[in-house]
Amino acid sequence: MGWTGKILRVNLTNGTVQSEPLNMDWAQQYLGQRGLATKYLAEEVDAKCDPLGPDNKLIFATGPLTGTCASTGGRYSVITKGPLTNAIACSNSGGYFGAELKFAGWDMIILEGKSPKPIYLNIVDDKAELLDASDIWGTSVWNTDEWIKAKHQDPMIHVATIGVAGENGVLYSAIVNDLHRAAGRSGVGAVLGSKNVKAVSVRGTKGVKVRDGKAFLKATNEGKKVLAENAVTGSGLPTYGTQVLMNAINEAGAMPTRNSREVQFEGAHDISAEAMATPRSTDGEKNLQTNQACFACTIACGRISKIDEKHFTVVNKPQYWHSSGGLEYEAAWALGSNTGVNDLEALTYVNFICNEQGLDPISFGATVSAAMELFELGLLTTAQTDGIELKFGSAEALVKCVELTGKAEGFGKELGLGSARLCAKYGRPDLSMTVKGQEFPAYDARGIQGMGLTYATSNRGACHLRSYTVSSEMLGIPEKTDPLTTDGKPALVMAFQDATAAVDSAGLCVFTTFAWTLNDIAPQIDAAIPGDWTPEKMLEVGERIWNMERMFNHRAGFTAQDDQLPPRLMKEAAKTGPATGLVSGVDKMLPEYYQLRGWTADGVPTNETLSRLAV
């Protein structure tokens, strides 16, 4: 019912696979996917372990709605201890892989130990095998996908794989499924690589059942109607993708630019959704070819793009002349605004390479941005950068960097460490725009104050998807708050964090929450699984998950000191736009946030809180 009730446990050291029943008590407490897998990880893994060592485990987890007709019901998450942050990592992806895993009859895969040689895990329904990956080790995501499908003669296999970045230990390497959907953040790809696992391939022919089919159809149909009638999910996202935000955020003065020195990018329009949909002056074609849905998604925000064949990035490379995953807002920002590059085709190419080699474009772009600032300051020179003139605005430099980073060649090896380690190495740790070692994304904490607290308290390091207060502060969803003030933001952030944790544990995409509240989601979950799921119960589960994650990090050695934003955001005021003169007020918000959370002044959950939530 919703869950398949089965976990595939793979001991890579011994090369064994076994099926075990899902802990249904935990399933009621943690729902699925992010929450439930984190529970397993927290129970089974020492929080102090080396994330790239054999003691770390990596879990692929689906939610109870994954593989159902609930809109966006196709998500999976990868949960592990992250090498970029040394904190809990939970990276969420769409595409078709998650649903296929469910159709094969598994709620989760737990990978433990380390394989003595490169392998891939091939799953066909009940049958799971560790197979030799020596022919695909050292090859790209795209090659691996194709190779596995040919090897098993089945194009309906879905593959989640690392590229060479994950093999080479790039600390922000991704696990990419279905060619261009990714469990992108926190370096989950490097963990898979450290275990000598190239890929997981799945073909499922079993069914997913729900508790009450009739009620489920009613609830999911009502949900789809809400999505279709909402301006953001019904029109903005399908038409423009997440890139719908580029011009809006820029105008709001909340667009981190050139390593957050500025909050508006003069080239934003050149790399916006509108630019993607406008015929190019060079060849008359549009960058954007079509939109694509992930499994079960009735929004369809995915971008499928094609690069101008004459563009310098691909002019002699026909292997990049086809359509593939195009720019989402975060990638366009990280690769574009943040590096000062306004060349849409170059950004699209770099994004292709991030998919092909398995890199998180946010952390990659932000690391290049930090390196550009170091270069500008003379702390990095062409002697260190393999001759690359690492100047803000240089598309050529950006392109060279991406080509080197996945392969971990030369300067690419340093870029692969992420901006925190890079900036520390060159003596300016303050220039790393990170929290807990993870680069923050495309919203400036000065222009959208809630996002400062979001980044600071995100359990997986800086991230927009843990509490997307942009919804409220910019779009007025569910109600409008002022982006420039800190008032009420701790409560807002907390509410978003708890609700999002529940959504991430259900198998749904957080983008639904542009239109859905928990009142729309709870009936869908309740019809799928036993347990009387109400919005209140979802919030409670979300809060439980949040505190569990926090406790994992606490055990791993994180303290309130790690809830700080980089000094630039606290000291250098925004120079343009609506937020002119403002710095982040995160220091004002944190004490209130801790208090609302039921944590000590040092940011540690109190015993009362933990026992109230039964963590």
Partner 1 sequence: MNYVILGAGPAGVTAAETLRAADPQASITLIGGEPEPPYSRMALPYLIYGKIDEGGTYLRQDETHYDQQRIRYLNGRCGGIDSSSKRLYLSGGEVLPYDKLLIATGANPIMPPIPGAHLEGVETCWTLEDARHILKLAEKGSPVVLVGAGFIGSIILEALYLRGCDITVVELAPRMVARMMDETAGGMLGRWCESKGVKVLTNTKVNSIASGADGEPRLSVGFSNGQSAPADLVVMAVGVRSNTGFLVGSGVQVNTGIVVDDYLQTTAPDIYAAGDCCEGVDLSTGKPDMLAIQPVAVEHGRIAALNMAGYSHRHRGSLNMNVLDTIGLISSSFGLWQGAQVGQTGKLVDEGGYKYMKLEFEGDKLVGAQCVGMTDHVGMLRGLIQTGFHMGEWKGKLLASPERLREAYISVAQGHPSTGPTAPHVNTPRAGLGVAAGSGH
Partner 2 sequence: MLKALVIDAGKCTGCKQCEMACSLENEGEFNVAKSRIRVFDFHTEARFVPYTCTQCSEAWCQQACPVNAITTDSMGVKVVHDNLCVGCKVCTIACPFGTVNYNASTGKVIKCDLCGGQPACSDACPTGAISYQDAEQGGFDKMKVWASQSANAATSEGPNTPKAAQASGSGH
Region near partner 2 per CB under 8 A, out of 62-70, 379-387, 509-517, 535-543: 62-70
Integer Cα distance of 401 and 514 in angstroms = 35
Amino acid at 133: A
Could you tell which of partner 1, partner 2, none binds residue 11, using a CB distance below 5 to 8 A set by kind?
A: none
The radius of gyration of the chain from alpha carbons, rounded to an integer in Å, stands at 22
What the block records as the tokens of 522 is 């709870």
Least separation, in Å, of the C-beta of 125 and partner 2?
A: 9
Could you tell which of partner 1, partner 2, none binds residue 510, using a CB distance below 5 to 8 A set by kind?
A: none
Least separation, in Å, of the C-beta of 320 and partner 1?
A: 9
Q: ∠ CA(75), CA(78), CA(82), 5° rounding?
A: 145
294 lies in the binding site for partner 2 (CB under 8 A): yes
Phi, psi of 49 (to 5 degrees): -65, 160
DSSP string, 301-325: -EEEE---TTSTTTTT-GGG-S-EE
Could you tell which of partner 2, partner 1, none binds residue 309, using a CB distance below 5 to 8 A set by kind?
A: partner 1
H or E element, residue 42: helix 33-44
Closer Cβ to partner 2, 528 or 586, answer by number:
528
Could you tell which of partner 1, partner 2, none binds residue 185, using a CB distance below 5 to 8 A set by kind?
A: none
Closer Cβ to partner 2, 207 or 427, answer by number:
207
From 209, 322, 391, 555, residue interacting with partner 1 (rule: CB under 8 A) = 322
Closer Cβ to partner 2, 17 or 228, answer by number:
228
Could you tell which of partner 1, partner 2, none binds residue 293, using a CB distance below 5 to 8 A set by kind?
A: partner 2
306 lies in the binding site for partner 2 (CB under 8 A): yes
Closer Cβ to partner 1, 129 or 409, answer by number:
129
304 lies in the binding site for partner 2 (CB under 8 A): yes
Closer Cβ to partner 2, 214 or 532, answer by number:
214
233 lies in the binding site for partner 2 (CB under 8 A): no
Could you tell which of partner 1, partner 2, none binds residue 151, using a CB distance below 5 to 8 A set by kind?
A: partner 1
From 21, 155, 284, 378, residue interacting with partner 1 (rule: CB under 8 A) = 155
Closer Cβ to partner 2, 209 or 555, answer by number:
209
Q: Between the CA of residue 99 and those of 69, 74, 413, 581, 591, what are the distances in Å? A: 10, 5, 35, 47, 41
69 lies in the binding site for partner 2 (CB under 8 A): yes
Q: Are 555 and 48 in contact (CB under 8 A)?
A: yes
Instruction: Specify the pairing of strand 6-11 against strand 108-112.
Output: parallel
144 lies in the binding site for partner 2 (CB under 8 A): no
**By rule CB under 8 A, what string of x and - marks binding of each residue 255-294 to partner 1?**
----------------------------------------
Integer Cα distance of 366 and 425 in angstroms = 16
Least separation, in Å, of the C-beta of 240 and partner 1?
A: 23
Strand ordering across the sheet containing 119-124: 127-132, 119-124, 197-203, 158-161, 175-177, 181-183
Could you tell which of partner 1, partner 2, none binds residue 146, using a CB distance below 5 to 8 A set by kind?
A: partner 1
151 lies in the binding site for partner 1 (CB under 8 A): yes
Phi, psi of 577 (to 5 degrees): 75, -175
From 60, 76, 103, 333, residue interacting with partner 2 (rule: CB under 8 A) = 103
Question: Any idea of the CA torsion for 369, 373, 376, 379, to the nearest 10 degrees?
Answer: -120
130 lies in the binding site for partner 2 (CB under 8 A): no
From 135, 270, 274, 309, residue interacting with partner 1 (rule: CB under 8 A) = 309
Least separation, in Å, of the C-beta of 106 and partner 2?
A: 15
Could you tell which of partner 1, partner 2, none binds residue 206, using a CB distance below 5 to 8 A set by kind?
A: partner 2
Q: Are 165 and 359 in contact (CB under 8 A)?
A: yes
Phi, psi of 57 (to 5 degrees): -120, 160
What the block records as the tokens of 168 is 């080479």
DSSP string, 354-419: HHHHTB-HHHHHHHHHHHHHHHHTTSS-TTTTTT----TT-HHHHHHHHHHHHHT-THHHHHTT-H
Question: Any idea of the CA torsion for 523, 524, 528, 534, to the nearest 10 degrees?
Answer: -30
455 lies in the binding site for partner 2 (CB under 8 A): no
From 16, 205, 382, 606, residue interacting with partner 2 (rule: CB under 8 A) = 205
From 53, 213, 567, 591, residue interacting with partner 2 (rule: CB under 8 A) = 213
Among left, alpha and beta (phi > 0; psi -120 to 50; other), residue 115 is beta
Closer Cβ to partner 2, 296 or 417, answer by number:
296
What the block records as the tokens of 194 is 């450290």
Burial class (CB in 10 A: 0-12, 13-18, 19+), 389: exposed
Region near partner 2 per CB under 8 A, out of 64-72, 77-85, 495-503, 543-551: 64-72
150 lies in the binding site for partner 1 (CB under 8 A): yes
User: Which residues are registered as beta bridge partners of 202?
Assistant: 123, 158
Region near partner 2 per CB under 8 A, out of 318-326, 435-443, 445-453, 511-519: 318-326
Q: Are 203 and 124 in contact (CB under 8 A)?
A: yes
207 lies in the binding site for partner 1 (CB under 8 A): no
93 lies in the binding site for partner 2 (CB under 8 A): no
Integer Cα distance of 358 and 142 in angstroms = 10
Region near partner 2 per CB under 8 A, out of 206-214, 363-371, 500-508, 604-612: 206-214
315 lies in the binding site for partner 2 (CB under 8 A): no
Closer Cβ to partner 2, 94 or 189, answer by number:
94
Q: Are 391 and 376 in contact (CB under 8 A)?
A: yes
Burial class (CB in 10 A: 0-12, 13-18, 19+), 412: buried
First to last CA, the chain: 25
208 lies in the binding site for partner 2 (CB under 8 A): yes
315 lies in the binding site for partner 1 (CB under 8 A): no
Closer Cβ to partner 1, 307 or 327, answer by number:
307
Contact residues for partner 1, defined by CB under 8 A: 146, 149-156, 306, 309, 318, 321-322
Contact residues for partner 2, defined by CB under 8 A: 67-69, 96, 99, 103, 156, 179, 203-210, 213, 217, 224, 228, 238, 289-298, 300, 304, 306, 322-324
